[in-house]
């Protein structure tokens, strides 16, 4: 029963959780079954092989935890580090802030590099710290690839170049929760040691799977890491991998079938095509924001995100009113501003199971909301700018050529 039912469909444009494809919903619509039967291990084996493709790794070892991105964070940290280890982490928005908080609560010595919200990670400061660390006290670099609070994407290839330039052995840990399966991500090429994502983002599944992928270097580090872990212990999973049963505890059967369907859809479209689609939707959204006379929270083009756009509102407007009005009047779900940017921005998520016409419907809704709250938007301005771009850049659907 929907206790806040509205006519038609909810237009879901938060940056996660996202719209779930019908094929995935149907795949999950099944009864429970015995995970010790031959069927579930056979399914799991194909999933472990195929999730490596979304990380673009051949050497990584994936783990499918029944958890959220927060649990995946904890798995990445506790399996590779010991209490008191020094980490370098970048504070650029709400989710990087939360990961830093987790690192501190797990008793790591966190060296925080802070930037204004709307800026990317300060890699010049990182380079200085790495250059100064002759004794290699820094054990890990922790970075959020795509900060959804501000719509900022960081350059991971540059982080790897810095580490390689100074021949520094620090582990490279990456939160790819709102980037993997939507933005270009190359685990092997960029030398990422642990990458992680959540099922409710670009994979377009319900919340409940934290997917972690560990490099051989990270697996080796896990053998001596002294952080306490139980539920997220990689070694427990690896024992069952060797046995061919795969699960140290009961998995979420329905989510596994959903993941199978989600991966099939991604591979049918082609991962490079998926990334290109997100690039189009991100560019179209930014063009609309510009046409409305509003500003992007992200301060430089090099940091623009193709999965979420944080829109700065004029000082006399409370951005939460935009989000409330959108939901109450137009059944449109937009993202709130969080923490330092609360009341100052609203967020348009454009990731996952989404196409061009869906986005245009969202942009039309935002224009109506802006007019409702007294902002002098010209009707059709953002929709026209986005439409013109999309009409010239949208290819034929690959499966229909």
Binding residues for substrate: 347
Backbone torsions φ then ψ of 223, nearest 5 degrees: -70, -25
Q: How far apart are CA 86 and CA 90, in angstroms?
A: 13
Q: By the 8 A CB rule, do 300 and 326 touch? A: no
Q: By the 8 A CB rule, do 355 and 30 touch? A: no
Quick one: DSSP state of residue 13? Answer: E
Q: How far apart are CA 212 and CA 63, in angstroms?
A: 5
> SS in 3 state form for 169-183?
CCEEEEECCCCCCCC
Q: By CB neighbour count within 10 A (0-12 exposed, 13-18 middle, 19+ buried), where does 249 fall?
A: exposed
DSSP strand pairing (332-336 vs 308-312): unpaired
DSSP strand pairing (11-13 vs 332-336): parallel
Give, in order, the Cα–Cα distances in Å from 74 to each of 82, 141, 169, 210, 349. Answer: 12, 15, 21, 10, 25
Quick one: DSSP state of residue 84? Answer: T
Helix or strand or coil: residue 196?
Answer: strand
Contacts of 248 (CB under 8 A, 6+ apart): 236, 237, 239, 240
Phi-psi category of residue 211: left, alpha or beta, with phi > 0 → left and psi -120 to 50 → alpha: beta
Q: How far apart are CA 352 and CA 19, in angstroms?
A: 7
Phi-psi category of residue 177: left, alpha or beta, with phi > 0 → left and psi -120 to 50 → alpha: alpha
Number of neighbours of residue 137 by Cβ within 10 angstroms = 12
> SS in 3 state form for 30-54?
CCCCCCCCCHHHHHHHHHHHHHHHH
Q: Name the binding residues.
A: 347
């Amino acid at each position: 029963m929907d206790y806040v039912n509205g006519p038609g469909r909810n237009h879901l444009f938060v940056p996660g959780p996202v719209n779930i494809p019908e094929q995935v919903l149907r795949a999950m619509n099944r009864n429970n079954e015995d995970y010790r039967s031959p069927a579930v291990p056979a399914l799991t084996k194909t999933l472990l092989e195929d999730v490596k493709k979304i990380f673009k790794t051949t050497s990584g070892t994936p783990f499918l935890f029944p958890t959220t991105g927060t649990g995946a964070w904890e798995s990445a940290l506790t399996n590779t580090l010991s209490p008191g280890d020094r980490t370098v982490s970048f504070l650029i928005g709400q989710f990087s802030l939360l990961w830093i908080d987790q690192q501190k609560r797990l008793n790591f010595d966190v060296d925080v590099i802070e930037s204004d919200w709307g800026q990317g990670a300060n890699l010049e400061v990182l380079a200085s710290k790495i250059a100064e660390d002759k004794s290699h006290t820094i054990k890990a670099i922790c970075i959020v690839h795509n900060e959804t609070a501000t719509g900022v994407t960081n350059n991971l290839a540059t982080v790897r170049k810095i580490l390689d330039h100074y021949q520094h052995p620090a582990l490279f840990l990456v939160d790819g929760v709102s980037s993997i399966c939507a933005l270009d991500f190359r685990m092997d090429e960029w030398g990422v040691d642990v990458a992680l994502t959540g099922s409710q983002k670009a994979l377009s599944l319900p919340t409940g799977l934290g997917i972690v992928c560990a490099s051989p270097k990270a697996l080796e580090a896990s053998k001596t890491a002294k952080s306490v872990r139980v539920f997220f212990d990689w070694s427990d999973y690896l024992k069952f991998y060797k046995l061919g049963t795969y699960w140290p505890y009961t998995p979420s059967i329905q989510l596994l079938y959903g993941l199978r369907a989600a991966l099939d859809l991604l591979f049918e479209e082609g991962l490079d095509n998926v990334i290109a689609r997100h690039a189009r939707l991100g560019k179209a959204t930014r063009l609309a924001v510009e046409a409305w006379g509003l500003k992007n929270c992200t301060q430089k083009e090099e940091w623009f995100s193709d999965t979420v756009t944080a829109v700065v509102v004029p000082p006399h407007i409370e951005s939460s009113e935009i989000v409330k009005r959108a939901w109450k009047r137009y059944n449109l779900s937009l993202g709130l501003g969080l923490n330092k940017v609360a009341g100052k921005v609203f967020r348009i998520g454009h990731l996952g199971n989404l196409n061009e016409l869906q986005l245009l419907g969202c942009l039309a809704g935002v224009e109506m909301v802006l007019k409702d709250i007294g902002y002098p938007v010209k009707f059709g301005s953002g929709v026209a700018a986005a439409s013109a771009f999309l009409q010239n850049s949208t290819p034929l659907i690959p499966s229909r050529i």
